[in-house]
A = this chain, B = another copy of it.
Amino acid sequence: MILMADEDYMRLAIQAAKEGHDTWTNPHVGACIVKDGQVLATGCHYHYGREHAERNAINKLTPEQLFGSTIYVTLEPCSHYGKQPPCAELLVQSGFKKVVVAALDPHPLVTGKGIKILEDAGIEVEVGLLAKEARALNPFYNFYYEHGRPYISLKQAITLDGKVAVKGERTPITNAAVKKQVLQERGDYQAIMVGAKTAIIDNPTLLTSKEGDFPPIRVVVDRRGRLLDHLDLKLLQTGPETWVLTLNEDLANTVFPDNVHVLLLPGRKARDIAQLLGEKGIQSVYLEGGPTLAKAFLDADLADDLITYLAPFYLGKQTTNGVNSQETLQLTDTKIQTFNDNIRIYGRIQHV
């Protein structure tokens, strides 16, 4: 038998966490239960609506097995009553001797509460083992609770002369390989957002090719209510949920198909949009344009990363420029990938 270290058990918990899918607004969490150097069970939060990782692992064992064992869990056990009693209580009741937690709950109002329940019950608690790796399971979830707004990725397809479209026309920029990648990439976010002008000119469906029970919500920002003249857009007719964000009361009172919801914005700024989406529980947004909407987010320091697809040609005159920014923006963690003759340039925006 190979002797395993604490880190190995936590790695098993992280591995287990990755078995979850469609956890939707819930984080990916994994757990690993160990006694006398033996791994007794692993568990994960498998799907939105199903049991948390701790309960999933515990359910695989008998009370005798559980008693006096140690549980490694990638995220602080929850402390609030939801569909189930909180996991921290469950761990106390299960007779664990020790709980090893990788990362604290990112919600500032909740952080440490689960730990406190465990410690108050006399359980030995250790926090921080492989915290970085565990946090990497849920970057958007962490960001959302730490910043109180969704993580926003600004995606743009530009030509070598920095253009995004022929003025007023739907303009193909990228190649088939990039189109496929974008269809896939959308599935990583909880919402796909465009401005009304883009919705009207491109008439996109904003679907993802990634299979899942929770396709991203399509969000159209239409402050002035321009969609009133374009109620036949695909986004407003079929497909998954569409939210129209507006200041226009007429639009709010318009009857739409069941998949369309109109939400009144608290104001006209990017910050108001981010706030509303945050309040609605959206943790991540893939902002696909147009440049005016993107610029509002950039200039408000509300864009977190930049995904640029570059197609090597010049679009020429009578065209729309890509997003620009008020200030110089430095990118970190840049990653360059090619898709045939197109290029994907990723970078995190350094917030000032």
A336 neighbours in B (Cβ, 8 Å): 312, 338, 341, 343
> Nearest Cβ distance between residue A324 and chain B, in whole angstroms?
5
Q: How far is the CA of A308 from the CA of B312 in the complex (A)?
A: 9
> Nearest Cβ distance between residue A317 and chain B, in whole angstroms?
5
Q: Is A62 an interface residue (CB 8 A)?
A: no
| A160: contacting residue among B308, B313, B327, B341, CB under 8 A | B308
Knowing A343-B343, A345-B343, say if A316 contacts B325 (CB, 8 Å).
yes
Asked if A329 and B313 make an inter-chain contact with CB atoms under 8 angstroms apart, the answer reads: yes
Q: How far is the CA of A306 from the CA of B343 in the complex (A)?
A: 16
Q: How far is the CA of A330 from the CA of B316 in the complex (A)?
A: 10
Asked if B317 and A326 make an inter-chain contact with CB atoms under 8 angstroms apart, the answer reads: yes
Asked if B331 and A312 make an inter-chain contact with CB atoms under 8 angstroms apart, the answer reads: yes
Asked if A324 and B160 make an inter-chain contact with CB atoms under 8 angstroms apart, the answer reads: no
Copies of this chain per assembly: 2
> Nearest Cβ distance between residue A157 and chain B, in whole angstroms?
12
Asked if B310 and A330 make an inter-chain contact with CB atoms under 8 angstroms apart, the answer reads: no
Q: Is A43 an interface residue (CB 8 A)?
A: no
A324 neighbours in B (Cβ, 8 Å): 161, 314, 316-317
Q: Is A158 an interface residue (CB 8 A)?
A: yes
Residues of chain A having any CB pair with chain B under 8 Å: 158, 160-162, 298, 306, 308, 310, 312-317, 321-331, 334, 336, 338, 341, 343, 345, 347
Further pairs besides A160-B308, A162-B162, A316-B325: 15, Cβ < 8 Å: A160-B331, A161-B162, A161-B323, A161-B324, A310-B310, A313-B330, A313-B331, A314-B329, A315-B328, A316-B326, A316-B327, A316-B328, A316-B329, A334-B341, A343-B343
Can you give 9 contacting A-B residue pairs, CB < 8 Å? A161-B162, A161-B325, A306-B314, A312-B334, A314-B327, A314-B328, A316-B325, A316-B326, A317-B325
